[in-house]
Amino acid sequence: MEQEQKLWELFGKELSGTLSERERLELELLKKQFPDVARQYELLGALSFRSAEIQPEARKEEMLGRIFTAAGEATSEEELPEFTEVAIPRRRKLWLAAIPLAAAVCTGIWFWTGGKKAEDKGWSTVQTRKGSKSKLTLPDGTEVILNAGSSLSYAEGFRDGTRQVRLNGEGYFKVAASAEHPFIVTTNAVEVRVLGTEFNLQAYDADMKTETTLISGKVEVKVKNDGKSYLLAPRQKLAVQNVTELKKVVNAPANDPVPPQVELKAADTDSRDSSLTAGAWVENRLVFNDEPLEVLARRLERWYNVEVEIRNEALKQARYTGSVENEPLSQILEILNTIKPIRYKITTTKITIY
């Protein structure tokens, strides 16, 4: 029993990023020794709910029991689904996972409400961790697939009023048509307004660009820093420079006006079959088209949940083009090495490129 408890403690350290190399070896040994517990951990990783409110200890223990009961009932399944799939409740009765142990062992997707900031009150947020993707259905029937390390928030009264969401990360949207209620996605750089359509929006706050790629239908994209709006046709892409990150690069004061660079052009396609590269990640395809290694490294960090350090400054701007599907990280690095030689070292949580 002590070893089993130790296994859960190590799971918690793994999720919080505090697991040492020695403890990682111990974790792998214990997972083999207790395969049923390891299976429970994987199932709990599919979905969790989190509340911003502090819960009494009795309530925490009750919720922990429910989580483990649900995990036990699911252990007969052959394999986990490719995506975490969630139907967002129409009535906002939310469970918590802010429990001492449950908070440590639940990964994949989080769901919580409220927030300490006044502007966050009345908003609910769904979040995926690095190394995972999640599929969810919003109260109006809109389907969203969230890429790794992404979060999506939506306002109270979403279904009956203006359908507004906020995105930090990357999302693939299939918007339910509603002529009376436009669907609006806001990010740091742009606001995307649609009625019923399918599009991909890549808008990680830390990236240099926000890219909106239209698959079908019609969208209007308003650029926040210059107020201009652009109408996209299917298979078009609007790329907007992230002004905040641009200021960091040029060391400009935060209050200095820096006009964003905006480019409207045909969407990138895979040279093999002319499919759009913007939604390739939904099908577990990693497509990179003349992409600097520094940018590609960020994608690998999110995709495989590792840290990537490039120590060779000249290599950061080396450009790569390729397309891979369901390949392990070691194979990806070998492919990059074939395209343009690199030297690298792989550890459990970090890739160092020289």
Q: How many domains does the chain have?
A: 3
> Which residues contact residue 317 at a Cβ distance below 8 angstroms, ignoring those fewer than 6 apart?
292, 293, 294
For residues 254 and 343, membership in a common domain is answered with no
Confidence (pLDDT) at 18? 62
Look at residue 199 and give its three-state secondary structure. Answer: strand
Is 205 domain-assigned?
yes
Confidence (pLDDT) at 272? 74
| Residue 39, domain extent | 1-80+91-112
For residues 76 and 194, membership in a common domain is answered with no
For residues 148 and 200, membership in a common domain is answered with yes
For residues 289 and 216, membership in a common domain is answered with no
Query: Rounded to an integer, what distance in angstroms lies between the CA atom of residue 7 and that of residue 37?
Result: 8
Confidence (pLDDT) at 186? 95
CATH code, domain with 266: 2.60.120.1440
Whether 232 has a pLDDT exceeding 50, the answer reads yes
Whether 51 has a pLDDT exceeding 70, the answer reads no
For residues 126-146, average pLDDT: 89
Confidence (pLDDT) at 121? 59
CATH code, domain with 291: 3.55.50.30
Cα distances from 34 to residues 38, 218, 344, in angstroms, run: 6, 52, 34
Confidence (pLDDT) at 67? 39
- The residue that leads in pLDDT, 245 or 332, is 332
Cβ-in-10-Å burial (0-12, 13-18, 19+) of 81 comes to exposed
Confidence (pLDDT) at 246? 53
222, 255, 282: which is the final residue of a domain?
Answer: 282
Q: Specify whether the CB–CB gap between 97 and 106 falls below 8 A.
A: yes
Q: How many other CB atoms sit within 10 Å of the CB of residue 78?
A: 4
For residues 1 and 108, membership in a common domain is answered with yes
For residues 309 and 265, membership in a common domain is answered with no
282, 309, 332: which is the final residue of a domain?
Answer: 282
Of the candidates 162, 168, 156, 149, the one whose C-alpha atom is nearest the C-alpha of residue 88 is 156
For residues 303-315, average pLDDT: 92
Quick one: what percent of the chain has pLDDT higher than 90? 34
Give the global pTM. 0.68
For residues 277 and 290, membership in a common domain is answered with no
For residues 271 and 305, membership in a common domain is answered with no
